Amino acid sequence: MRSTVQQRSEYTFKANRSLGRHGWLRLTPAYGVKLVENLLSSVDTTAIILDPFSGTATTGLVAAERGNQAFAFDINPFLIWLGNAKYRNYNQDCLRDIREKVLQALKEYKSQIDRDNWIPPIFNIERWWSSYTLNLLASLRTALVREFGEPEENEYSIVWIAFCRLIIETSSAAFNHISMSFSDTVIHHKTEFIEELFLNIIEFILISAEKNIVGNAKVLKADARDLISLDNIKVNKVITSPPYPNRISYIRELRPYMYWTKFIDEAKEAGELDWLAIGGTWGIATSRLNSWKIAEEALPEKIFATVEKIKMSNGKNSRLLAIYVLKYFHDMHLHLSSIRSILENGAELHYIVGNSTFFGNMVDTPALLADSMKVLGYSKIHSEIVRKRNCNKALYEYCVSASWLAG
């Protein structure tokens, strides 16, 4: 059965790039619009939708575009800002104002090139951009700040989203696999190329922003492990894709955006955010695993059995990675426990997750999450394969579904 499962790129971020607001900024963890649309196809527009792991805001945007009210949670301030920019409606006067000010900034930035413009304190920044390209980007940023102010949650957010896309498309970063790598050489981009590319990006974003969203959505700051209240609102359907237990650190891909928009000022802040994230392993998030203590011991026995196999595998850092896997399922258990307080009776939940392997030991993520759901009183629990994740026949993406019926 599994051998016939396809990779189905339409269920990944690749299919989102041409879909209006969904394609504003590329981020690998995003899942496909079509997948969310399928899960919402039979849902009434009066239903309230929740994504407790907002990420690139795909679920909330799909729900709001079809007329639902949606909420999303995240701990990363950049992702909260990005999601709310996607959810906002922009009037024609605003879009016209942005076009005019962008043209003005492009006229002025060349006069800033020889000045001491602010450059983000990214470690080894020269592997990202050549000194010449970096100077152009810094000059353009200075001109944009004069026209629009520093990035914040307002109608000018889309200008800074365009700038984020510009900095990544002019970098030596490569995205030909799940994480980020770098080309051997950096490219010296000419002013004409920078200007044309930025104008094309901003125009794509402005055109897609012209279409108003009929529903409404909001990203709120919240820790997914400790969801207590949603202003007395109860959720009818949860559609989300939490991080997978595979040591892929999402903060790594977000860092260049967050530095340029000043959401972080130093590497330590990225590590702190990743420690708060479920499955985070960047910098101090990894080192702190050694001193982490379990808070919830009433976990399904299969979780401890899986962790023990990894620990006894004698692979490099097997003990540390065993702790990582235990913490992941521990935190997901806390999440599945706390989210019950904001679920309407009869609410349906859909979690898009992937399995993983450590030293030849399979981590059956859908089965382990399903066991947590059983312990916590969920019903109608089942999972199905969504797609094959890569050429490794053992790695798949699953949709784990359940219902909440309050006792």
Residue 306 CA: distances (Å) to CA of 57, 311, 357, 375, 381: 32, 9, 11, 17, 21
**Domain extents in the chain:** 2-88+213-353+375-385, 92-209
> What token pair was written down for 359?
């030293």
- List, in order, residues 6 or more apart from 310 with CB less than 8 Å away: 318, 321, 322, 325, 358, 359, 361, 363
pLDDT at 387: 84
Q: Cα–Cα–Cα angle for 353, 357, 358, nearest 5°?
A: 130
pLDDT at 1: 45
Residue 268 has pLDDT above 80, yes or no: yes
Residue 178 has pLDDT above 60, yes or no: no
Residue 12 DSSP code: B
- Find which of 235-249, 313-327, 364-378 is predicted with most confidence, using mean pLDDT: 364-378
Residue corresponding to tokens 């009869």: 346
Share of the chain above pLDDT 90, in %: 78
Please state which CATH number belongs to domain 2-88+213-353+375-385.
3.40.50
What whole-number distance in Å separates Cα of residue 339 and Cα of residue 226?
8
pLDDT at 11: 45
Q: Which of 1-15, 135-149, 158-172 has the lowest mean pLDDT?
A: 1-15
Largest interatomic CA distance in the chain:
68
What whole-number distance in Å separates Cα of residue 251 and Cα of residue 244?
14
Ranges of H-type helices in 289-353:
301-311, 318-338
pLDDT at 279: 92
184-224 residue pLDDT tens: 788 889 999 999 999 999 999 999 999 999 999 999 999 99
User: Residue 391's pLDDT band (boundaries 50, 70, 90)?
Assistant: low
229-263 residue pLDDT tens: 888 899 999 999 999 998 878 888 899 999 999 99
User: Residue 17's pLDDT band (boundaries 50, 70, 90)?
Assistant: low
User: Residue 174's pLDDT band (boundaries 50, 70, 90)?
Assistant: confident
Share of the chain above pLDDT 70, in %: 92
Residue 339 has pLDDT above 90, yes or no: yes
